[in-house]
Chain A
Amino acid sequence: MPGADKETDLGERIEAFLAELKRGGRGSGETARSTAALLRRITAQARWSSAGDLMEIIRKEGRRMTAAQPSETTVGNMVRRVLKIIREEYARSRGSSEEADQQESLHKLLTSGGSSEENFRQHFAPLKANVIEAINELLTELEGTTDNIAMQALEHIHSNEVIMTIGRSRTVEAFLKDAARKRKFHVIVAECAPFCQGHEMATSLSEDGIETTVIPDAAIFAVMSRVNKVIIGTQTVLANGGLRAVNGTHTLALAAKHHSTPLIVCAPMFKLSPQVPGQNSLTCVNAHCPVFDYVPPELITLFISNIGGNAPSYIYRLMSELYHPEDHEL
């Protein structure tokens, strides 16, 4: 039966995805794109009749995916984006205009008359097509993120500047290479032991004609006085504007604060996660060599994302536009 074939095919693809996640080693951009593509496939091929069913299926698969690799937060973020897309398309199909007012607010408390429990049970025929189209838009956005961030490079990097970075971030690499086409500047890369990804970053940058110096992590503070800007990437942006970034970033941020050097974080919007530090995760890491650092929002000057530059205190607002509060816990 063709229906059963489609389902087993879908199941196989999900299993393959989970296995790849567990293996790790892929960049977060690639993970985000493949997650969104898989969610689109689930929407197209799984059996569901109302928005509520679809959301349940996606939430279930989302939980499995985040359990496979908890440190890869982009998977959970993509699931939440798709859930928000489904809610919006459902609201649009119903014809209600208050999709902007999804959040709890004092205003809503005062003016709502009676229980406004949405249970997403109504069936709409064009819903599937609408959701798939919206996910396609999301995929297009994901594909363009690195370019959108790199386009902003010339506003922030000026000639003869000394820029410091740590480890290897594909976003920062593209950012610096884009600026190097028009400006001449010097880059200092902290090697970021023990994996020493800084070495690869330096090789890649120098291949494009950028003058690069590699320094050991211990020299960060000593060299900071000569640095004009610090530009870093991150693994996750947390809801309070803080970062979960590669080990050594907190040191870099403290040194920058001490010398009043601006710290710029290049992070695409799919790295924004509704988690807040202190809830879980970082303390559950029982490691002698922790992989990630927490950088508090006070040490960060600016976030450059594919939608422009923002202050850390504004992150909560961007988050409310990307995800629905009920989806914070999958």
Chain B
Amino acid sequence: VNKLFFLVTQMSQDPDVASAVAAIRSLLEFLKRDQSETILGLRENLTKAIGRLQEADSSVAVSSGGELFLRFISLTSLENPDLSQCRNVMIERGELFLKKISLSRGKVAKLCHTFIKDGAKILTHSSSRVVLKVLESAAADKKRFTVYVTESQPDSAGKLMADKLRRLNIPVTVVLDAAVGYIMEKVDLVIVGAEGVVESGGIINKIGTYQMAVCSKAHNKPFYVVAESFKFVRLYPLNQQDVPHRFKYKADTLKTAEDLNQEHPIIDYTPPSLITLLFTDLGVLTPSAVSDELIKLYL
């Protein structure tokens, strides 16, 4: 278990890796070292490990990665009831799975960059590695475009995004979170990443995304979401209050806060009616196609 924490901290030091991928990688390592004799024991240990991971980093991505890994274990164990044989198959498939999902960001970028036309003005929110990859591919395709990034308080992640874009020689402007409505008439399209994609086809992302979606709907601008498929999570929030507390606040806030109502949430939920299209490594999906994918996996 201590080794697990070691691994988790190792992963967090590599900022380019998505947190779900890091979680799955650590769980795979845990699986390799696990000593249990039965599949049920294995599942129990894994569930405890996922719980520990979530204590360290309570984001939606870790939760979805963990659930996906558990599902992967169940599916594999159904095929091979004998544990030792099963473990080898699991480890082999797990490595293959990790390899595939590390390629997913590239696939998403390839799909999305054709939607960015020459001379486009793009608005994005906070710092997303997938959006960065999309913009990188579009720039590599010799397209000229400008980007507006929201500052995204409380951690000013937007400024980091702006730095990364400047290094790619893309003209970028940082705007205040409050200036989204003001800037919306100038932009042509909005592209955001997602920390989690929920069953309804909506997304969970950094706070301020919902605002941006409502504004873009009011101005009739397309609102695109780019997300890898391992971010699909089995949640169905009907409104902002429905999103579980453990996602809304950071792990340390959950432990120390006296009254959660006084704390600022760090994520919000954007309903599918505001999203035009989702770009995933499974293809270009409309929000209604997302639940189909989840059903195929979990049922």
A residues touching B (Cβ–Cβ < 8 Å)? 103-107, 109-114, 239-241, 276, 278-280, 283, 297, 313-314, 316-317, 325
Indicate whether B214 reaches chain A with its CB closer than 8 angstroms. Answer: no
Q: Contact check: which of B72, B100, B115 meets A278 at CB < 8 Å?
A: B115
Q: How far is the CA of A114 from the CA of B277 in the complex (A)?
A: 31
- Chain B residues with CB under 8 Å of A241's CB are 286
The answer to whether A105 touches B293, judged by C-beta atoms less than 8 angstroms apart, is yes
Encode contact with A along B119-160: 1 for CB under 8 Å, 0 otherwise: 000000000000000000000000000000000000000000
Query: B97 touching A110 by the CB < 8 A rule?
Result: yes
Given contacts A110-B75, A110-B297, 16 further A-B contacts (CB under 8 A): A103-B282, A105-B297, A107-B296, A107-B297, A109-B101, A109-B229, A111-B75, A111-B76, A111-B93, A113-B96, A114-B96, A239-B284, A313-B286, A313-B288, A317-B289, A317-B292
Binary A-proximity of B274-299 (CB < 8 A = 1, otherwise 0): 00110001111110110011101100
* Residue among B92, B114, B282, B283 making CB contact with A279, cutoff 8 Å: B114
Q: B115: nearest residue on chain A (CB-CB)?
A: A278
**Closest CB of chain A to B217's CB: distance in Å?**
10
Give bound CA distance, A283 to B115, whole Å.
12
Are A283 and B75 in touch, CB under 8 angstroms? Answer: no
Contact partners of B286 in chain A: CB under 8 A: 240-241, 297, 313, 316
Task: Sample 12 A-B pairs with CB under 8 A, ordered by A number.
Answer: A106-B229, A106-B293, A106-B297, A110-B71, A110-B72, A111-B75, A113-B92, A114-B96, A240-B276, A241-B286, A313-B288, A317-B289
Q: Does B52 contact A (CB under 8 A)?
A: no
Chain B 80-106 interface residues, beta-carbon cutoff 8 Å to A:
89, 92-93, 96-97, 100-101
Which residues of chain A are within 8 angstroms of B115 by Cβ–Cβ distance?
278-279
What string of 1s and 0s marks CB contacts (under 8 Å) between B184-207 and chain A?
A: 000000000000000000000000
Distance A241 CA – B285 CA, assembled complex (angstroms): 11
Could you tell me the distance between the alpha carbons of A276 and B222 in the complex, rounded to whole angstroms?
13
B117, CB-defined interface residue at 8 Å: yes
Chain B residue nearest to A114 in the complex (CB): B96
**B interface, over-half SS:** helix
Total A-B residue pairs with C-beta atoms closer than 8 Å? 64
A276 touches B296 (CB 8 A): no
Q: Which residues of B contact A278 (CB under 8 A)?
A: 115, 222
Binding site for A on B (CB under 8 A): 68, 71-72, 75-76, 89, 92-93, 96-97, 100-101, 114-115, 117, 222, 229-230, 232, 276-277, 281-286, 288-289, 292-294, 296-297
In the complex, which of the residues B93, B97, B277 contacts A276, with contact meaning CB atoms closer than 8 Å? Answer: B277
Given A111-B75, A113-B93; A240-B293 close (CB under 8 Å):
no
Asked if B296 and A106 make an inter-chain contact with CB atoms under 8 angstroms apart, the answer reads yes
Please name all residues of chain B whose beta carbon is closer than 8 Å to the beta carbon of A103 when the two chains form the complex. Answer: 282
User: Which residue in A106, A111, A276, A279 is a CB contact (below 8 Å) of B232?
Assistant: A106
Task: List the A residue with the shortest CB-CB distance to B201.
Answer: A313
Residues of A contacting B277 with CB < 8 Å? 240, 276
Residues of chain A contacted by B296 (CB below 8 angstroms): 105-107
Complex Cα gap A280–B116 (Å): 10
User: Which residue on B lies nearest to A325, using beta carbons?
Assistant: B283
- The CA of A207 and the CA of B297, in the complex, are separated in Å by 55
Cα–Cα, bound, A178→B101 (Å): 53
Contacts of A106 in B (CB 8 A): 68, 229-230, 232, 282, 293-294, 296-297
Instruction: Indicate which residue in B89, B96, B230, B289 contacts A316 across the interface (CB closer than 8 Å).
Output: B289
Q: Shortest CB–CB separation between residue B215 and chain A, in angstroms?
A: 17
Chain A: which residue is nearest B114 at the CB level?
A279
Shortest CB distance B70–A (Å): 11
Q: Is the CB of A109 within 8 A of B283?
A: no
Which residues of chain B are near A113, meaning CB under 8 Å? Answer: 89, 92-93, 96
Report the separation of the CA atoms of residues A313 and B283 in the bound assembly, to the nearest whole angstrom: 16
Q: Which residues of B contact A105 (CB under 8 A)?
A: 282, 293, 296-297
Q: Which residue of A lies closest to B100 (CB)?
A: A109
Query: Given the complex of chains A and B, what is the CA–CA distance between A109 and B285 in angstroms?
Result: 17
C-alpha spacing A112/B72, complex, angstroms: 11
Shortest C-beta distance, B19 to chain A (Å), equals 18
Report Cα–Cα, A239/B100, bound state, in Å.
Answer: 26
Of all chain A residues, the one with the shortest Cβ separation from B104 is A109
Which of A112, A276, A297 contacts B284 (CB under 8 A)?
A: A276
